[in-house]
Structure 1
């Protein structure tokens, strides 16, 4: 299921950030590998995205990112 949201923050040096969901549910973790896999180099605060949530060992994270 595709969701929409905006990048709350992303730290390239740390390699992760968070996406604020449009539906106001809990913010979603995003790892630099998901950014790379989407063919993106960086996420900027406020970038609008569509994404899916995958539940991993450390909790939910955003995958299949696309800039909206």
Structure 2
């Protein structure tokens, strides 16, 4: 699993981006997530999380997101 912090969260849309140094991502590439991948309460910017990185047509996507 990768580690990172929520960099951006849109509570209206229920999606956001996680910044991480883990994985084979470009240095400036954030990982997309949707609250359906998290469950529970909304995440807030700065929350530390652990997650799997999956490929999607639009770029990397977080799955199995867990708050740390």
The TM-score with structure 1 as length reference comes to: 0.80
CA distance in 2, matches of 1:15, 1:65: 14
CA distance in 2, matches of 1:46, 1:59: 22
Q: CA deviation digits over 1:1-58, x for unaligned, max 9?
A: x00000001111012110010347421001121122xxx2200111001100111233
Aligned counterparts, 1:1-68, within 5 A: 2-23=1-22, 25=27, 26-36=29-39, 40-68=40-68
CA distance in 1, matches of 2:20, 2:65: 13
Give the number of equivalent residue pairs: 64
Structure 2 stretches of 5 or more lacking a match? none
* Between structures 1 and 2, the one with greater helix share: 1
